[in-house]
Amino acid sequence: MDANLSTQPFKHRENGLSINAINFVKKLERLRQALEGLPVKPPSIYLDAHGVAQDEIINLQILVPPIGTLYLVDIKRLGTAALSATADNSVSLRSLLESKSIPKVGFDIRAVSKLLFRDFSVSLDGMYDLQLIELASRNGRHSKKHLTGFAKCVDQDVPKSNTTKSRWLQPDDTTNMHLFNSLGYFPSMKRIELYPAL
């Protein structure tokens, strides 16, 4: 295989969202450049992970709405290099994840946080957990005894007119087969795409 082809970014566009697979160390520089200087109000970085149910992180999903891009960082393939490699003295993915001054948003981030710490000694900071924000925002009429799951939050808080919600509610829709054929699995990107709407 031509060496140039193997380092070309996998790009797929779905519903206005560019999807970039980061599966080589060389591609990490593009990701770091894209994440530099993003606005912090509102937060520009949304996190999720694939493989958490299997007690591992296969890929880290980083949605950046200001540039309309979802990055799929292949943690399983890149290992610690995904988090620490830099071409110069620029910000590494590790320092971004551990930065208190760079806000990041996720939903029920407990398992992702645990796995990043256990496997890579990364201590997430600057995180806004949408599940906890929902719990804190409940008024006195609603019990704060239990956390609300993602599906219920989407049902309650995202309007039916939202096209991403419509696609998320139809998981058997095969319009995304190109992505499946390229990556070998369906990442939970329909879930992460809804984070900004929550």
Tokens 């540039």 locate to 67
Tell me which DSSP letter residue 176 carries.
T
The domains of the chain, with CATH numbers, are: 3-197 (3.30.420)
* H-run or E-run covering 162: none
* H-run or E-run covering 54: none
Q: List pLDDT tens digits, range 39-71.
A: 889 999 999 988 887 888 888 999 999 998 889
pTM exceeds 0.95, yes or no: no
- The tens place of each residue's pLDDT in the chain, 198 residues long, gives 333 333 334 444 445 678 888 888 888 888 888 888 898 899 999 999 888 878 888 889 999 999 988 899 999 999 888 888 666 666 788 989 999 999 999 988 899 999 999 999 999 999 998 888 888 887 777 777 778 777 777 777 777 776 666 666 665 554 554 444 455 544 555 677 777 776
Q: What are the residues whose beta carbons fall under 8 Å from the beta carbon of 64, sequence distance 6 or more?
A: 34, 35, 38, 44, 45, 46, 70, 71
Give the 3-state secondary structure of residue 186. coil
Asked if 40 contacts 95 with a C-beta cutoff of 8 angstroms, the reply is no
For residue 197 the two structure tokens come to 């709407």
Nearest to 52 by CA among 129, 116, 132: 116
